[in-house]
Structure 1
Amino acid sequence: MTHPTIENRLLWLASLCLLLYPLSSQGNAQSVEQALKKIVESFEMSDTTLPLALQRLAAKYHLLVGLEILPDFDGAAKKTITVKVHTKTVRELLDALVKADSRYLWTTVNQSVDVFPATGTDPLLQVRLPRFRAEGVDRNEAVDVLLNSPEIQPELTRALLRRREVMSLPADAPRVLSRFSLDVSYVTVREILNQIVAASHSSFWSFVRYGQQRQFFSVKVR
């Protein structure tokens, strides 16, 4: 009786992984689609902003939402909207939000809902890192690791960009945050932010440039 060699066993395991991977991917892909199919009994916000509405939506319906806010010139990014949705899906609610502020579009990327300006996305969010690794960090520390990485710092210098955060919402107040580790390869800044939100059990991140010359930027994870 012949026994399988170690090489044969490894080959069999590799083949099994390849067979199972598409099934696993399909299963994961359904989770965001299932969230988008949830029924919204009632969602009403008056004289609010798209960032606040999306933050509420993300927390209430367990969505991971990333928002790239239009550059803020003299408060231009703070357009107010009013949304009243009843007995619609989360997908229809997202459509209603970007209809109320038509400067934005939304799409799904892996397990995330990404909202971005219709005029295009910021080049900084598209910078690709060969590897991103953060050990035993909270969500704010993970963002610090990302923005201090050797791939990002030259981009900030080239674009004359400086990070300056503004604590403006109750959700920004300091609190005990969960710690986690991330080790991912060949990913964009946008994708890393999505993974930081997921790993930290948060629901929302935002990015905005501001200042008269768009010289400052802020990244928030909530």
Structure 2
Amino acid sequence: MTQWLPLFSSLVVAFVVLVGVLLTNRTNRRAIDAADERGSIALEAAQRNVEAVNAAAEQRSRDAIEAAQRNTESAEQREHEKWRRESVLAAVTALLETSATVRQQLSSQDFTYIGEIDRFGLDLHESIGQCGGSVTRLRILSNPRLPNRCEDLLRTLTAAANITVQKLTLTLDGDATVEDLDDIRTLWHKAIASTVEQELSVVKATRAELGIEPLPTAERVPASAA
């Protein structure tokens, strides 16, 4: 029996060693699995972070592109509005300059022959007619109120021109009475005053169109005496 003791001892030792190895392997396997799981979690987290960073970068890029587009559109709109305002101002200025020139001519003419008066009347109507292009541009570029006021001015200016021709003609008429001359002079003064009022109306409408502060109460420009 004693001879088997070493063998049994060896078997016990081997069993203990085997159990220890198995336990160690299991522990190592669990550690490896846990490490693999932590690695997978870390990898997934890293991937999510990369995706989040990429998504944020793409969003910033899209936002930057959209902001640039908005800035470009805003700049284009500002340039267009600047061009529109300058065009409106140029058209109104040309019309008012013509009106002032014609009104001055209506107040400072003296003729000797009827033919000269007729030629004068034709020149006046030609000058007034050239303002039609300005009115057309204003109808395209501005609120209808402004070109409507300009048309009112041109109609009033045309009427004043016609009355001026009549006054000049009547002045050369030897058969005209004092009452006739007084009546035409009174009518002429009213026509000139109406022209001045229409010019101021155009100025006010232009300022409103361009967003400029309204004019203070303006003093009426006196019409020149006949």
* TM-score of the aligned structures, taking structure 1 as reference length: 0.26
More helix by share: 2
Instruction: Indicate the structure (1 or 2) with the bigger Cα radius of gyration.
Output: 2
Question: Looking at both structures, which has the greater relative contact order when contacts are Cα pairs under 8 Å and sequence separation is at least 6?
Answer: 1
More strand by share: 1
* TM-score of the aligned structures, taking structure 2 as reference length: 0.25
